[in-house]
A and B are shown apart, each in its own frame.
Chain A
Amino acid sequence: MALLEVSDLHVEFAVHGGSVQAVRGASFSVNEGETLAIVGESGCGKTVSVQSIMGLIQTPPGRITRGSAKLRGHDILGGQAADGREIRGTDIAMIFQDPMSSLNPTMTVGAQIAEPLIVHRGYSHRQAMRRAQELLEMTLIPDAASRIKEYPFEFSGGMLQRSMIAMAIACEPSVLIADEPTTALDVTIQSQILDLMVDLQRTNNMAIILITHDLGVVARMANDVAVMYAGEVVERGAVDDIFYRSAHPYTVGLKSAMPTNRRGAVQKLTPIQGTPPDLFDAPAGCGYYTRCPYAMEVCEATPPIVFDVDREHQSRCWLHHKDCLQQVTQIYRP
């Protein structure tokens, strides 16, 4: 059994004149000590999916309309919040893309790291501050002893993200959710932060859910991958399945639109034409229909179901239907 298993999640937001179907079928899971990457372009529902797990969806306007999220078999979504609240922040912790907006500007960094330890773990103030310093040392912040007394504005972007990680791992969570933790950082600092996450994972056997739109980061970090598009997980599998046996046209499209650097290889980028659909007026059929080079008649009005391509490798696309005769070379069909 997976440590955290999300099944068939649906989330919508009430907006003027209707609703936005932000998540329309997201299933993914992560094992202890492993990393799941959720990849997809902006607006495809990555953040809303993990916010749902964290109980961060404001209701109204937001509403989880279907699905479950089970941690060690116990549902932690929505209504059963009593269960959920205890777990979140201690057993599941989250770090955000923009650390500045999730830190309190009027409190020292040390006090902010110490707070959850005092609240959830019953540490005394002194114990908690000592632990805060240790945590900053673990996240490789130089001069941790003096840094714990400083305020967020005195930190650089890379140091802020490290402090966020220190805060998130303070209560030794079994799942760490990181929503684009390095998107705002330079590649050099990104590398340091990713290495740090891997080191912490090794020592704590923590599961990581890493949200990104960068396939390079996916390739570096992930054991498993969920590819999201227009609110749905369109392909799921082990990292090698996703890269070397891509089964969904969107995954193939993303790969061909990004440059790779293999020595000697002459490369040509193939852009995906058009733009993602508006989820206010979510498409009736396949979400990728208007951009898909393999689109068939059936795809326009009938949403594809999820097909098992291999063991533990799934794709939401009609090309995998046994009656589909279209010959495609780039799509993996065993």
Chain B
Amino acid sequence: MNKPLIDIRNLTKHFDRGRHKIRAVDDVSLSIEAGEIVGLVGESGSGKSTLGRTLLGLDRKTAGKIFYKGSKLPTVYRAKDFHRYARSMQMIFQDPYSSLNPRMTAGEIIGEALRLHSDLNKSDIAKRIEEWLVKVGLNTDHLGRYPHEFSGGQRQRIGIARALILEPDFVVCDEPISALDVSVQAQIVDLLVELKRSLGLTLLFIAHDLSMVRYVSDRMAVMYLGSLVEIGRSDRIFFDPKHPYTELLIGSNPEPDPNQERSRQKVQSIGEIPSQLDIPTGCRFANRCPHAMAICHDVNPVLRIVSHEDDKRLVACHLYE
């Protein structure tokens, strides 16, 4: 088997809040093969963005190892590390409003990474910027305009061009469509999938919208309170979730089809996600889980393989032990 492009082992990221520790990412392991799209889903506050940011060195990890093409990434990123890895790994952000500098033109924003991290000359940079404008569905009229002169969808196109102009191998997309209108979401998703194909990108696609994640990703990882509870092929997980939390998420996802909704089985949904400040011992989902058993309150279940079909499903739940 190939070496994975990204190999995350026991990654942990804690934030200090006063005397408390927020365990935003807690012992997460995940490997991502070159060319695949892995979707990352979970409720707000489950640690998805933190995982993405820590992966790229934007947040400093507390513990664990990350390998990129087999070589270990630094714990503390120095300027030269950013310089070195910016060409390989990039991020696209949720909010196309706040993630673009309002005082820079679209052209300057898109070209910034080239100026910082490449040794192309001015005219080559200008050429590349124009190429990328067109690739993301904008045109040269847009070069000199400022972010506020664009719609949300157009701003996200600028964000995509900015991230991809260095032609990285790996891109973390943190909710790239959540802030967009329904009619524009599909445009951006199509663009990402198309660019992924033509450039051979590998994506970690973070999103709230389960149907969209299923649509774009090959595999899906489900995160709850800082840890991964299920990993597997997106279709398989969607139609046959194993972990009770995954079941709850998918069962709650409304389908745009009245007949399907009328025949839906009501999911038993109790309580809310507990605070990161006091993560329960044992299974973190136990206080909301309709299947919780005595052992669940004491022993933290770990991810293990529950099916060996083409899916190699990993689930962290005592029901499958």
Determine the interface band of chain A, counting residues with CB < 8 A from chain B: 35 or more
Residue of A nearest to B189 (CB): A269
Interface residues as binary, B79-100 with A (CB distance below 8 Å gives 1, 0 otherwise): 0000000000000000000000
Scoring A195, A239, A275 by chain B CB atoms within 10 A of each residue's CB, the highest score goes to: A275
Do the beta carbons of B183 and A253 come within 8 Å of each other? Answer: yes
Q: A29-62: which have CB < 8 Å to B?
A: 41-42
Query: Interface residues of B toward A: which range?
Result: 35 or more
Bound CA–CA A159/B275 (angstroms): 14
A158 within 8 A of B: yes
Main secondary structure of the interface of B (DSSP, over half): helix
- Contact in complex: B260, A187 (CB < 8 Å): no
Interface centre among A253, A259, A271 (most CB of B within 10 A): A259
* B257 and A188 contacting across the interface, CB-CB below 8 Å: no
Query: Does A158 contact B187, Cβ atoms closer than 8 Å?
Result: no
In the complex, which of the residues A187, A218, A258 contacts B210, with contact meaning CB atoms closer than 8 Å?
A187
Chain A: CB-nearest residue to B251: A191
The reply on A257 being an interface residue by CB < 8 A is yes
Stretch from A106-114, A129-137, A208-216, A293-301 that touches the partner: A208-216
- Chain B's closest residue to A218 (CB) is B256
Cβ-defined partner of A243 (8 Å) among B153, B214, B249, B258: B258
Residues A270 and B186 in contact in the complex (CB < 8 Å), given A186-B208, A188-B43: yes
The answer to whether A188 and B258 touch (CB under 8 A), given A258-B211, A271-B184, is no
List residues of chain A with CB within 8 A of the CB of B214. 259, 261
Q: Which residues of B contact A253 (CB under 8 A)?
A: 183
Find the A residue at minimum CB distance from B264: A220
Q: Is the CB of B186 within 8 A of A269?
A: yes
Does A290 belong to the interface (CB within 8 Å)?
no
Q: Which of B43, B153, B184, B238 contacts A186 (CB 8 A)?
A: B43
Q: Which of A220, A222, A276 has the most chain B CB atoms closer than 10 A to its own CB?
A: A220
**B307 interfacial contact with A, CB 8 Å:** no
Q: How long is the Cα–Cα vector from A207 to B269 in the complex, in angstroms? A: 25
- Taking a contact as CB atoms closer than 8 A, the residue among A42, A222, A267 that contacts B181 in the complex is A42
Q: Which residues of B contact A (CB under 8 A)?
A: 43-44, 151, 153-154, 181-187, 189-190, 208, 210-212, 214-215, 238-239, 248-249, 251-258, 260-261, 264, 266-267, 269, 271-273
Cross-chain pairs A/B with CB under 8 angstroms, 6 sampled = A188-B248, A188-B249, A190-B252, A219-B254, A243-B257, A261-B239
Q: Using a CB–CB distance below 8 Å, which chain A residues touch chain B?
A: 41-42, 142, 156-159, 186-192, 194-195, 213-220, 222, 239-240, 243-244, 253-255, 257-263, 267, 269-273, 275-276, 291
